[in-house]
Copies of this chain bind each other. A is one copy, B any other.
């Protein structure tokens, strides 16, 4: 028997992976959670039919959601991770020795438990490191109450179901309030090829609350379109192309990240902020439309 997992996007594009074993399949209070063993992508966490993380390429997404944000902050001590029950983002945060406390807010405890059992490469640090606090709660509710966070990483699923609120301007305002004076947030922002308008809308909505917003473009073979966008928004003023770019690269070394990453290199910390021309022109078009 041949077993294939398949995920459709926008009704016209499809990603498929050959499955060697259905490792776990559960319906939680919130969603359908499956863990599949695949031939090419390793074990794969699938929620409501959409790939969230797979062993073969999760390092790209988790490193890039975490390190550019944490390195852009001079001294991140308190970090909040919203969503991301697979543990990959928390694992990356713990690589910065200056980090004293990582709070993981994941609405669905079953995601955490299944990943701890079946994908320990991602989730084992959730119970092994005393700096980690797990809050099984609604991220948007917790962020409403949080204050003085240095970094908030929004490791959400797509803007449907439990994650929908995490893509609204009201949530971006709450993020701004929950962050310290020089706080920084990084969020998943969608597909630049298959949904560029959504990516641009998110960046422009963030711009209403944060003086500095940058897009990061990263390869993720198991996500629709193969390339994904992250949005980084900061309350303090800095520019990865100038002196602050040099500073970020220096911190990569100072915080001992050399040889600790599988995708990111020091020299990629400037480049990862470069945005393709077609995305920039959608930006300019939308900004002009707003200005009119």
A220 within 8 A of B: yes
Q: Number of copies of this chain in the oligomer?
A: 2
When distances are taken between beta carbons in the complex, the residues of chain B under 8 Å from A221 are 13, 193-194, 225-227
Question: Which of A4-12, A22-30, A114-122, A161-169 is the contact stretch?
Answer: A4-12
- A194-232, CB under 8 A of B: which get 1 and which 0? 100000000000000000000001011101011100000
A146 within 8 A of B: no
When distances are taken between beta carbons in the complex, the residues of chain B under 8 Å from A278 are 59, 262-263
**Among A4, A12, A275: residue with most chain B CB under 10 A:** A12
When distances are taken between beta carbons in the complex, the residues of chain B under 8 Å from A14 are 4, 6, 14-18
- Contact partner of A277 (CB less than 8 A), chosen from B16, B193, B263, is B263
A15–B18 touching, CB < 8 Å:
no
A264 within 8 A of B: yes
When distances are taken between beta carbons in the complex, the residues of chain B under 8 Å from A264 are 276-277
Query: How far is the CB of A2 from the nearest CB of chain B, in Å?
Result: 10
- Contact partner of A13 (CB less than 8 A), chosen from B11, B16, B276, is B16
Q: For window 62-86 of chain A, which residues contact chain B by CB distance below 8 Å?
A: none
Query: How far is the CB of A45 from the nearest CB of chain B, in Å?
Result: 17
When distances are taken between beta carbons in the complex, the residues of chain B under 8 Å from A277 are 261-265
Q: For window 259-275 of chain A, which residues contact chain B by CB distance below 8 Å?
A: 261-265, 267-268, 270-272, 274-275
Query: How far is the CB of A214 from the nearest CB of chain B, in Å?
Result: 13
Q: For window 51-104 of chain A, which residues contact chain B by CB distance below 8 Å?
A: 56-57, 59-60
A236 within 8 A of B: no
Taken together as a complex, chains A and B put the C-alpha atoms of A13 and B10 apart, in Å, by: 19
A-B contacts, 20 listed (Cβ < 8 Å): A9-B40, A12-B39, A13-B17, A13-B40, A14-B16, A16-B16, A59-B278, A193-B221, A217-B219, A219-B227, A223-B226, A225-B226, A226-B227, A262-B276, A263-B277, A265-B275, A265-B276, A268-B271, A270-B270, A271-B272
A residues whose Cβ falls under 8 Å from a Cβ of B: 4, 6, 8-18, 38-41, 56-57, 59-60, 192-194, 217, 219-221, 223, 225-227, 241, 261-265, 267-268, 270-272, 274-278, 280
